Structure 1
Amino acid sequence: MSVALLVPRGLDTRATGGNVYDRHLRAGLVARGWTVATHELDPGDPVPVDGLLLVDSLVASWAAGTLLGSGARAVPLVHMLFGTPGERELLAAAPAVVTTSAWTRSQVLAHRSVDPRRVVVAVPGTDRARLGSPSATGGNLLCVGTLTPSKGQHVLLEALARCGTGGWTCTLVGATDVDPDYVDELHKAAADAGITDRVTFTGALDRRELEDAYRAADAVVLPTLAESYGMVVTESLAHGVPVIASAVGGVPEALGEVAGAHPGMLVRPDDPDALATALDRWLNDAVLRTWLRRTAWQRIATLPRWEATAAAVARALEGAG
């Protein structure tokens, strides 16, 4: 079978979660015998409408009118919802819908015109990774995500300012070119709090550099304000690194459970006090750190794999074809 994959321009050059997912999915479908024609699009570009289409939700947010008007067999691949009328109409008309988390599926089904039997969940997979070597103090903190307000790095810096200046360092990894004004605000916040010597901004890293960052981390902090899943969470756990994250969207789903307990800590989003309390517990409770590391290691065995992601999407496409 064949499918046209419609994705935002920059699929192979920008390391966003959606792009990583789309690249792995494309490879997984090809491995299953599919012919995949990739179309990287910007708003205003001609939109392919022939044959079976798998449409990244960012493309669908501005191309829905064209897809609907042409009667295209378009299967939305929903990383996130944008809430536009065209998007809602496209979801209702689609022969199948793929969501990247159960939480996102619940948001899609909030539109009553969408048949739940047509909505398939295909969560992001994980790559096998080498475990890191945790430090004795647990003070090597890592935050991974594009530096934008929705990722909440300002919340993290405010929380770190309340943790004092001893026993920790924090590395913030992520592209700095999306919202330069926000990046300037983060640097100013770190300076005003007197923690510039403990906070490092690396910019975007390549795959090997990011692997090294995960392996060097004692804990990964995800202070996001909105997240449909949270691939950073599962990537952290794949390295055996516990996660301290906002309890928002699909993050609890990504974190998962081991024997009824999370392999990390969940805190209220956009709440520096709550995050500071969690960080303080992590930094000052060696027993807690040991337990969370153990549950993170145990979680590795149940993390989803990319082969399963591709299999779920293939089933949805076969049903839509």
Structure 2
Amino acid sequence: MTAASALHTVHLVLPATVDDPAAPSGGNRYDLRIARELPGAGWHVTGHRATGAWPRPAPADRAGLARLLAALPDGATVLLDGLVACAAPGVLAAQAHRLRLAVLVHLPLADETGLDPAVAAQLDTAERGALHTAHAAIATSAWTARRLVTHHGLPPDRVHIAAPGTDPAPLAPGTDGGHRLLCAATVTPRKGQRRLAEALAALAGLPWECVCAGALDRDAQYTAGLRALIARHGLGDRFHLTGALTPEALAARYAAADLLVLPSYAEPYGMVLTEALARGIPVVATAVDGIPEAVGRAPDGTVPGVLVPEGSPHALRDALEAWLRDPGVRRPLRAAAHARRAMLTGWETTSRALAGVLETLSRQPRRTM
């Protein structure tokens, strides 16, 4: 018997674009990482790619997913990314009696910023159907788990948490003035880059340079508006849009940064926050959803950054101004970030949490018709 065959098997169904280097995202990186890590926790991973994940599933894509699931053996354990599962709740319902289905949820679909209300309602209905059909839902943060229980009415014992891990990284050296700012996020309305540009435009008299590292083609209209805003405020030589970066190039940006800024309107966790903290870089972020969970606290209870209230129009500007002007603000935040760095958990913790859910799922009796 080979080592692989001695393991349990999970069929991992991911979006077809999950490893597209032009469209990196925290959700995609999480999915790919668990595919690598689960064998170390006792699970052989058989990977599948599905076209037609939200937001534009087509009938042919649903048919393809139906064929994929129908070809799996009775009793198979299947873990589907939520974008795939929620594109075809009826397909899941047709197989739930013979397969053990779990859905991995990063961000509840209707919580995406800027959706047309009709589209949001459609997404919400589809997601609710898929999650109630599945035998288990796996959330990537405690906030998301609570949201699935309260919003979709899922039984709490069917909702589990497997938070992202963080890789060890060298300390970023930082600068004396703390003027190098980094926003690492796909350029979309939810991530709030326009809000950041407006805040920094109000601080044009202070020394700062901001790098926005993230894909620019996810929302062309939003990106165009951001470019126009940068030009209107004369920030073209200080507010840089790099587009999607390779992991190596992004690591270099982290190494050069003094402060990570994440001005999101909604965020289930925020892997970039822990990636910055792993380098001892403090953060300024909006206090929404799972962000406070990701930022956490140092052992002495201090927050390794500033969490700004979502509803205050000037809170982000004020936090950045305090950081840029006052060494007395920067020093304790850097100390807290260094202390928080030692507390971060790795991906083996994530894989163990997932493996525990899959083990429980694999032992459940199949549903009857």
1:313 maps onto 2:340 in alignment: no
1:289 maps onto 2:313 in alignment: no
From 101, 104, 111, give the equivalent of 1:77.
104
SS in structure 2 of the partner of residue 141 of structure 1: strand
- 5+ long unaligned stretches in structure 1: none
Q: For the structure 1 residues 254 and 99, does the alpha-carbon distance in structure 2 shift closer, same or farther, using more than 3 Å as the test?
A: same
Match for 1:221: what amino acid?
Answer: V
Structure 1 stretch displaced more, 92-101 or 225-234: 92-101
Q: Distance in 2 between matches of 1:227 and 1:41?
A: 25
Q: Distance in 2 between matches of 1:194 and 1:270?
A: 27
The Cα offsets for residues 209-252 of structure 1, whole Å up to 9 and x where unpaired, read as 10010010000100111111111111110111000001111000
Instruction: Kindly state the Cα deviation for residue 165 of structure 1 after the two structures are TM-superposed.
Output: 3.4
Instruction: Kindly state the Cα deviation for residue 35 of structure 1 after the two structures are TM-superposed.
Output: 1.6
Q: For the structure 1 residues 93 and 152, does the alpha-carbon distance in structure 2 shift closer, same or farther, using more than 3 Å as the test?
A: same
From 3, 9, 26, give the equivalent of 2:16.
9
SS in structure 1 of the partner of residue 101 of structure 2: strand
Number of matched pairs:
321
1:61 maps onto 2:118 in alignment: no
Question: Contact 1:225 / 1:248 at 8 angstroms: preserved in 2?
Answer: yes
Instruction: Kindly state the Cα deviation for residue 39 of structure 1 after the two structures are TM-superposed.
Output: 1.3
SS in structure 2 of the partner of residue 62 of structure 1: coil
1:192 maps onto 2:240 in alignment: no
Instruction: List aligned pairs for 1:129-140, cutoff 5 A.
Output: 129-140=169-180
Q: For the structure 1 residues 272 and 196, does the alpha-carbon distance in structure 2 shift closer, same or farther, using more than 3 Å as the test?
A: farther
Instruction: Kindly state the Cα deviation for residue 93 of structure 1 after the two structures are TM-superposed.
Output: 3.4
Aligned to 1:99: 139
Aligned to 2:30: 21
From 110, 116, 126, give the equivalent of 2:150.
110
Q: Distance in 2 between matches of 1:299 and 1:87?
A: 35
SS in structure 2 of the partner of residue 58 of structure 1: helix
Q: Distance in 2 between matches of 1:292 and 1:26?
A: 35
1:52 maps onto 2:90 in alignment: no
Aligned to 1:89: 129
1:163 maps onto 2:180 in alignment: no
Q: Distance in 2 between matches of 1:132 and 1:185?
A: 32
1:260 maps onto 2:269 in alignment: no
Instruction: Kindly state the Cα deviation for residue 289 of structure 1 after the two structures are TM-superposed.
Output: 0.5
Q: Distance in 2 between matches of 1:165 and 1:192?
A: 16
Q: For the structure 1 residues 202 and 113, does the alpha-carbon distance in structure 2 shift closer, same or farther, using more than 3 Å as the test?
A: closer
1:225 maps onto 2:225 in alignment: no
The Cα offsets for residues 104-135 of structure 1, whole Å up to 9 and x where unpaired, read as 00001114742212221110000111111110
- 5+ long unaligned stretches in structure 2: 1-7, 53-59, 111-123, 363-369
1:299 maps onto 2:340 in alignment: yes
Instruction: List aligned pairs for 1:243-282, cutoff 5 A.
Output: 243-258=283-298, 259-269=300-310, 271-282=312-323
Question: Contact 2:257 / 2:281 at 8 angstroms: preserved in 1?
Answer: yes
Structure 1 stretch displaced more, 15-24 or 4-13: 4-13
Q: For the structure 1 residues 200 and 272, does the alpha-carbon distance in structure 2 shift closer, same or farther, using more than 3 Å as the test?
A: farther
Question: Contact 1:155 / 1:270 at 8 angstroms: preserved in 2?
Answer: no
Match for 1:104: what amino acid?
Answer: T
The Cα offsets for residues 283-317 of structure 1, whole Å up to 9 and x where unpaired, read as 01101101101110111111121000000001001
1:126 maps onto 2:166 in alignment: yes
Instruction: Kindly state the Cα deviation for residue 18 of structure 1 after the two structures are TM-superposed.
Output: 0.5
Instruction: Kindly state the Cα deviation for residue 272 of structure 1 after the two structures are TM-superposed.
Output: 4.7
Instruction: Kindly state the Cα deviation for residue 85 of structure 1 after the two structures are TM-superposed.
Output: 2.3
Aligned to 1:181: 221
Identity %: 42
Match for 2:46: what amino acid?
Answer: A
Question: Contact 1:162 / 1:276 at 8 angstroms: preserved in 2?
Answer: yes
TM-score, structure 1 as length reference? 0.96
Q: Distance in 2 between matches of 1:105 and 1:77?
A: 11
